[in-house]
Structure 1
Amino acid sequence: MGKIVISENVSLDGVIQDPTGKEGFRFAGWFDQMEGKDREAWAGVEYEEALGTEALLLGRRTYEWFVARGWASRSGGWADRLRSLPKYVVSSTLEDLDWNNSTVLKGDVVNEVSKLKRKVDGDIVVYGSGRLVPALMEHDLVDELRLMICPFVLGDGERLFGETSDQKPMRLVDTRTVGDGLVLLTYQPVRDA
């Protein structure tokens, strides 16, 4: 049985919007302000995570972000690993996918992701995907949250989570300092709360 793992870079106040500065957000590029040591440590954690991943689940915009930045042809261990993984893209508009091992999931998201969890054995990691993540949370399809907290308070911007129909209790299962300024928090849902 697959495990849906949300892996996000967020500001200290929970903002996920425009971390690399391509969307026109007034605080765009906040993630790229990270110092060199933190950036290297972050990349190490991301590569480690990719090695333990069995598949990627991406929303359309995040998939297009990866493709536009050359991940389909980059070299190096991390890029090679992502290229080799099966990638499932939730989209009602995409037809042809440019990144190898990519499949479009069309139709009801809850049904398609539930089927994917039964099909894949291991971690199914979700990067970015700001519209997909709330839907997965709302329908209790998330098995783990990995939040890389970046030391910036933005005060404005799209947050990882918006409104939900009910509380979603989570249990902290791990904390890890990354570099000098980052913290990786890992949570799992409390299913019987």
Structure 2
Amino acid sequence: MRKLIVSTFLTLDGVMQAPGGPGEDDDGGFAHGGWSVNYWDELMGQVMGAAMTKPFDLVLGRRTYDIFAAHWPRATEEDGAKPLNDATKYVASRSRPALDWRNSVLIEGDAADGVAALKQEDGPELQVHGSGNLIQTLLRPNLVDEFRLWVFPVVLGSGKRLFSEGTVPAGLKLVDSKVSTTGVVIGTYEPAGEVVTGSFALD
């Protein structure tokens, strides 16, 4: 059985939209594309590099697939392109797009059912990058086994959020954390069952 891992850049107020550059995703008039770029440091590069050194496949929504496919096939090995180009890319789309990036496969039918079936197969871990709409589809049936959340010290006030309206309440357990010199908190979380409530009220 394969693990499904969501790796996401987030602002402090939970926005994940267009971290990589202007025009990456301007849905809803989003005007802050590229908000993550100036926070990058050596530690973050090391953490990202370590995540790319072991075998993985990708699960991507259509928009993120198009963004990646426009960049990584033209990038060099020095830029870290080889692991992404070599990985199998499983793509969720309501249409039947031409998937020209090498090793790309359309997820047939319902995306959640398709990903659940992929998890049952033998193979490397499944990583989800970006793909905000797809992540919402995967959260509802609890298909995510691990969250790698990169929380940047910036607030935007608007934009697509990782945990949006309709998110199923759940507890998480922090299993690893690092902090960059620029204040980016990189946390790895695993599901920890239902939310447990309590009270500070005096008896």
TM-score (ref. length: structure 2):
0.85
| Residue number in structure 2 paired with 1:27 | 32
- For residue 177 of structure 2, the aligned residue among 169, 175, 178 is 175
| 8 A contact 1:53–1:124 mirrored in 2 | no
How far did 1:186 drift?
0.9
Residue identity matched to 1:162: S
Higher strand share: 1
Residue identity matched to 2:12: L
- Pick closer, same or farther for the CA change 1:168–1:39 going to 2, 3 Å: same
- Pick closer, same or farther for the CA change 1:182–1:53 going to 2, 3 Å: farther
| Residue number in structure 1 paired with 2:69 | 67
| Residue number in structure 2 paired with 1:84 | 86
How far did 1:84 drift?
0.7
How far did 1:93 drift?
1.4
Larger radius of gyration between Structure 1 and Structure 2: 2
Partner SS for 1:71: helix
d(CA) in 2 for partners of 1:82, 1:64: 13
Q: State the superposition RMSD in angstroms.
A: 1.8
| Residue number in structure 2 paired with 1:51 | 53
| Residue number in structure 2 paired with 1:13 | 13
Residue identity matched to 1:27: H
d(CA) in 2 for partners of 1:49, 1:26: 30
The percent of aligned pairs where both chains have the same amino acid is 37
Question: 5+ residue gaps in structure 1?
Answer: none
How far did 1:120 drift?
3.8
| 8 A contact 1:92–1:106 mirrored in 2 | no
d(CA) in 2 for partners of 1:71, 1:7: 18
TM-score (ref. length: structure 1):
0.89
| 8 A contact 2:89–2:105 mirrored in 1 | yes
d(CA) in 2 for partners of 1:110, 1:154: 30
Question: 5+ residue gaps in structure 2?
Answer: 196-203
| 8 A contact 1:12–1:152 mirrored in 2 | yes
| 8 A contact 1:21–1:29 mirrored in 2 | yes
- Pick closer, same or farther for the CA change 1:104–1:72 going to 2, 3 Å: same
d(CA) in 2 for partners of 1:138, 1:40: 35
How far did 1:26 drift?
2.3
Farther-moved stretch of structure 1 (97-106 vs 47-56): 47-56
Per-residue Cα deviation, 1:79-120 (whole angstroms, up to 9, x for no partner) = 011111111111121332121111010211121011100124
d(CA) in 2 for partners of 1:164, 1:104: 26
How far did 1:180 drift?
3.2
| 8 A contact 1:55–1:120 mirrored in 2 | no
